[in-house]
Structure 1
Amino acid sequence: MSEQTKALIKDAATQLFYANGFHGTSVRDIAKKAKVNQALISYYYGGKQALFESLVTEFFEGYVHTIETTLHACQDDATKALREIIERVLTYQQSCHLLARMAHREMTLDSTLVRELMSTYLRKEQYLLEQVVAGCMAQLKQNKLPVDLVVLQLRNMLILPYSSPQYLRELFLLTPADHLFTKRYVQHTQAWMKTVFQLPEKTPKSRLLHV
């Protein structure tokens, strides 16, 4: 019962934080939407601030874990790893689209939480993406572009549907929450990858750099 209650609280909080922002959402609002006793929010999460931080942290834990496990699963083929990372990261964000939008929006602010996330999850994300991009360049014997520039472009493409959903909705006439959107966007992102790395139909296999 406690896990079900916690899930109800998290779902309600995500919807309200996304729609109304942190300051526009009260503990009373969350409890009412979740249909639970208000005291349970403090009991399980320690209050509104701790609940908010828990949700954002949970998102980035899943986000980075998706990249890391994919990289290890495909470590014998860097280009395959990059293709899989693109698809799995976009699919992960689509599966929790409101939380993804809320978390990426939070990262535009200068706060203690953002600085903590930058020093942990986003540094780890940068390191992993650098490994796969450098691995692709080594595998394809390409060194024309700076690794950090390609990583920046890659990351922007991965988070764009959830950091700027209105722009993508106008462009694709679909919302990022729609599975069809994710399928189409994965294809576009992988087409970008092929252009950047000038991928042939078949690429030589090579182990990634150490991760």
Structure 2
Amino acid sequence: MKLPSTAHTSRPWRIHDIAPDFQFEDVWALRTPGGPDDLPRLVSTLVSDDSGTFPDSAPMPVRLLWAARWKIGAVFGWDGPNTGLGSRVNSLRDRLPEDLRQAPRGPDFKDVPFTSLYLLQNEWAAEMANRTVHTVMHIGWVADESGGYRGQMAVLVKPNGLLGAVYMTAIKPFRRLFVYPALLRSIERDWRAHV
């Protein structure tokens, strides 16, 4: 479920200080009920080899959109080795304060080009960059209405020039209507399978 922006912006997340020049895009509730110390388990579930059901388990329109994006990226060279972290943009790890540099990074995805930045008890962030955008996936672990905890996923972006701004505008309706709801269902399904 999509949440109001304040569900992310009003919380004292560390990512606010690390990426103040990134635009907040969306925040979504994850139906991943757990206890106060379960964020590392959620992160492990997200990045594990056996939870790689997205986009394979997504509805056909999402799989087609996903495949089209990678084909277009290949044609225009959006995702080449010289377009990402360490070449086109510096990693946000370079901005981390000393305490976060000493904190666990958290695991990296196996088949998705996101790299972990840090993992805390209630917050995890991973980044990815290509020719169009530098983006952060932020997973927070928050108290819910029932007295338990659940995850919430926020997306922060820094478009790369006019190309990035046009790209983000063009994909926004597809992200919100198709891709994120399918991704959230996949995360929630994987969570239930690992409980």
Shorter-normalised TM range: under 0.3
- With structure 2 as the length reference, what TM-score do the two structures score? 0.26
Which structure has more relative contact order (CA 8 Å, sep 6+)? It is 2
Of structures 1 and 2, the larger Rg is shown by: 1
TM value normalised by structure 1: 0.25
